[in-house]
Amino acid sequence: MANTAENTLQLDGIDKIILRALMQNARQSVNLLASQVGISGTAIHQRLKKLEREGVIKGSQVVLNEKVLGYKTLAFVGIFLDKAMRNPEAVKLLKNIPEVIECHYTTGNWSVFIKILCRDNAHLMELLNKEIQTIDGISRTETFISLDQQIDRQIGL
């Protein structure tokens, strides 16, 4: 693994095999990975630590099934700010809204683009009207409801 001129980490074949296996099942043991790759558990452990240190692996997490938990409406909201300098304060307040699960500073029409998860459309409307649109600096919003997520994946190796 060496950095190129563009500061992009180059992965060798063993790293790619390890990462692909973990992307399929992040809960598998180091010993199982070692048997799949054909190297020792210690070598796998050292490679995993290096991949974490280099920032290739950002962590591991449990992925909840939001629909089973009662969150059935996923929406994207483009936020128009009255002034660009309002961005830090608006984002700070958006962080306090648990239904906001992603927030992006963007180019194009909107200053900020957020992804929100709600129980239903009524919850979405209440969130927009009472929490998001009342934030100082937000002049208006544009909302897109997701009907179905058709692709859900990470970048390929």
Who contacts 121 (Cβ-Cβ below 8 Å, separation ≥6)? 73, 145
pLDDT at 6: 59
Same domain, 134 and 96: yes
The secondary structure element, H or E, covering residue 94 is: helix 87-94
Q: For 106-143, what is each residue's pLDDT tens digit?
A: 999 899 999 999 999 999 999 999 999 999 999 999 99
66 occurs within a structural domain: no
Residues 84 and 140 occupy one common structural domain? yes
DSSP state letter for 70: T
- When divided into structural domains, the chain yields a total of 2
CATH number assigned to the domain comprising residue 98: 3.30.70.920
Q: What is the pLDDT of residue 4?
A: 41
156 within domain boundaries: no
For the chain, percent of residues with pLDDT exceeding 90: 77
pLDDT of residue 153 exceeding 90: no
Task: Write out the two tokens for 149.
Answer: 């997520």
* pLDDT bucket at 9, cuts 50 / 70 / 90: confident
Would you say residue 141 lies in a domain?
Answer: yes
Flag whether 134 is in a domain: yes
Is the residue at 25 inside a domain?
Answer: yes
On whether both 28 and 86 belong to a single domain, the answer is: no
Query: Is the pLDDT reported for residue 69 higher than 90?
Result: yes
Query: Does 135 fall in a domain?
Result: yes
Average pLDDT over residues 44-72: 92
Distance CA 142, CA 105 (A): 15
**pTM surpassing 0.85?**
no
CATH number of the domain enclosing 13: 1.10.10.10
Give the chain's mean pLDDT. Answer: 92
Could you list the residue range(s) of the whole structural domain that residue 111 is in?
73-146
Core vs surface per residue 131-147: b (16+ CB within 10 A) or e: bbeebebbeebeeeeee
